[in-house]
Amino acid sequence: MATQISNFSWHRVAQLYQYNAPWIRKQTIIYFLFSLVTSLLYLLIPSETIRMGIYSPCRTILMFMFIWAPIVFTKGGDTRIVDRLLPASAFEKLLFYMTYLIIVVGLACYLCPWIAETISMGLCHSEINGIEMLQNKRAVPLVFEWSTYLSTIAAMLTCFYFVVAATRNRVVKAYLISICVSIFLSTLNTFYGVKEAIIAGYKEAASQGSPAGETEISEMVSSALNDHMHFSIFALALNVVFIILLIWLSYRSLYRSNL
């Protein structure tokens, strides 16, 4: 029976890191190197068509690497019986897992691409291109971007929950159900929000009687996105509720395993 602990201790959180270090160090290094190579290719390849043809699939791979990061805690086999005996409370375990998965893995996956995209925007060859890039960036409301980020975190937490809670076939369940959650949340956010907004924007452009330029279409799509923002707000709220629920379920599973 695991020892019940009432007080919080950073020392025990550090011990959890030492216990999991052999697996998570390798994962962090591999994730960071893949992210770094992807970002360098984005910056160094001169052809935009080739660059995006390589960068876009790599970003998708990074997304699934992030979603499936909790699988690393199964690399030593089913060690949950040993995990129960670790001198740490359920909250300390949850804090360690969330810090590693959301912050450490998140930075390993997305910091380099963010820097590369920022540098690319700053190295525009002309002022016009820079203005167009900023306009295209603003065409997507911040609420949609946050909803997209949160849906990825929700899918990752789904994977984590089944890693710590499933009694049988936890790896298979973690992979399959996290994919389903990712597809559902992405579809909810993208299809019902952005798709409708883009269609509305192009319909407005077509109603002008003459072909609209890229700048005009970008402005129309941006306006339509703002008009359809309620879809993204709903998806954002759903993601937040789902994340809170998954964290609570994960904590409950860790707490019960400590009894």
Q: Which tens digit of pLDDT belongs to each residue from 109-137?
A: 999 999 998 888 766 544 444 444 444 44
- Contact assessment for residue 154 and residue 242, using Cβ atoms and an 8 Å cutoff: yes
Please state, in angstroms and rounded to a whole number, the distance separating the CA atoms of residues 158 and 175: 9
> Which pLDDT does position 228 carry in this prediction?
61
Tokens matching residue 244: 């809170």
Residues in Cβ contact with 84 at an 8 Å cutoff, skipping those fewer than 6 apart? 2, 257, 258
- Contact assessment for residue 112 and residue 32, using Cβ atoms and an 8 Å cutoff: yes
Question: Residue holding tokens 């970003």?
Answer: 59
33-63: per-residue pLDDT in tens?
999 999 999 989 888 888 888 888 999 999 9
> Which pLDDT does position 103 carry in this prediction?
96
Please state, in angstroms and rounded to a whole number, the distance separating the CA atoms of residues 152 and 171: 18
> Which pLDDT does position 205 carry in this prediction?
54
Q: Which of 59-68, 141-150, 202-211 has the lowest mean pLDDT?
A: 202-211
Please state, in angstroms and rounded to a whole number, the distance separating the CA atoms of residues 257 and 251: 10
Question: Among 31, 8, 204, which Cα is nearest to 106's?
Answer: 31
pLDDT band at 138 (very low <50, low <70, confident <90, very high): very low
> Which pLDDT does position 152 carry in this prediction?
94
Tokens matching residue 40: 């360098």
Tokens matching residue 127: 């002022």
Question: Among 105, 110, 145, 138, which Cα is nearest to 219's?
Answer: 138
Residues in Cβ contact with 71 at an 8 Å cutoff, skipping those fewer than 6 apart? 159, 163, 171, 174, 175
Average pLDDT value for residue range 178-189: 86
Share of the chain above pLDDT 90, in %: 38
> Which pLDDT does position 178 carry in this prediction?
94
Q: What is the pTM of this model?
A: 0.80
What's phi and psi for 45, nearest 5 deg?
A: -75, 120
- Whether the predicted pLDDT of 90 surpasses 70: yes
Please state, in angstroms and rounded to a whole number, the distance separating the CA atoms of residues 68 and 168: 18
- Whether the predicted pLDDT of 193 surpasses 80: no
